[in-house]
Copies of this chain bind each other. A is one copy, B any other.
Amino acid sequence: MTPSAATPAYRRLSVEERRSQLLDSALGLFAHRAPEDVSLDDVAEAAGVSRPLVYRYFPGGKQQLYEAALRSAAEELEQCFDEPRVGPLLPRLARALDRYLAFVDQHDAGFSALLQGGSVVETSRTTAIVDGVRRAAAEHILSHLGVTGPGLRLRMTVRMWITAVEAASLIWLDEDKQPPLDELRDWLVDQFVAVLSVTAARDAQTAELVQRLADDV
């Protein structure tokens, strides 16, 4: 359109945009190959940029690329949890789950690869990133539930459910994305209520919360 259109597109991206474009390309590659089989050259090719450019952004090589992709996915995932504090609680949870499951659906095998890593991965650092997402999810849920000072049993219940959701996502990808997303989402919300109800039988704080959830709907 303008004379500058002749300049290769990547010249016009900011550092942040460029980085994000490269990470998107890497995530796409992780969907089909183990992290250790994705080279910086592959990323350059997939992004349609020069190799030196990719090496400039990720001088630490595969490990740095993988960690950066994981961090970027973690940030995106944490954004899924952002939900206005209005309206009944369970529909809020359902909407956050919808966004999370859309992320899983979109990144497909790349999501499993990210979570499970590969031999290139420094496990302790990447585990910390993944744990950060789980922790953020738990904090969001507890804060939406309006619980101050959640006790051990309630915290455990929420964290166990989050792990079960993560397991469900991985199995769902393995099982050709069955059952359909809507059913999976409702199923997970129902499980949340069910496990809270089990905890309610042994914990007054959770019992009060389950009562509120029932009144809410």
Give A residues with C-beta under 8 Å from B: 34, 36, 116-119, 121-125, 127, 152-153, 155-156, 159-164, 166-168, 171-172, 175, 178-179, 183, 187, 190-191, 194-195, 197-199, 201-202
User: Within the complex, which residue of B118, B164, B197, B198 is in contact with A160, where a contact is CB–CB below 8 Å?
Assistant: B164
Copies of this protein, total: 2
Contacts of A164 in B (CB 8 A): 160-161, 163-164, 167, 195
Contacts of A167 in B (CB 8 A): 159-160, 162-164
A172 to B160, CA, bound (A): 11
> Do A175 and B152 touch (CB < 8 A)?
yes
User: Within the complex, which residue of B34, B124, B179 is in contact with A124, where a contact is CB–CB below 8 Å?
Assistant: B34
A161 to B167, CA, bound (A): 9
> Do A190 and B179 touch (CB < 8 A)?
no
A197 to B197, CA, bound (A): 12
A127 to chain B, nearest CB (A): 6
A214 to chain B, nearest CB (A): 15
Tell me what chain A mostly uses at the interface: helix, strand, loop, or mixed.
Answer: helix
> Do B194 and A171 touch (CB < 8 A)?
no
A199 to chain B, nearest CB (A): 7
User: Within the complex, which residue of B36, B125, B156, B201 is in contact with A171, where a contact is CB–CB below 8 Å?
Assistant: B156
The answer to whether residues A168 and B178 also contact, given A121-B123, A183-B202, A197-B194 and a CB cut-off of 8 A, is no
A160 to B190, CA, bound (A): 14
Contacts of A125 in B (CB 8 A): 119
> Do A178 and B194 touch (CB < 8 A)?
no
The answer to whether residues A119 and B122 also contact, given A156-B171, A161-B164, A171-B156 and a CB cut-off of 8 A, is yes
A113 to chain B, nearest CB (A): 10
20 of the cross-chain contacts (CB-CB < 8 Å) are A116-B123, A117-B127, A119-B123, A121-B123, A152-B178, A156-B168, A156-B175, A159-B171, A160-B167, A163-B163, A163-B164, A163-B167, A164-B164, A164-B167, A187-B199, A190-B198, A191-B194, A194-B195, A194-B197, A195-B195
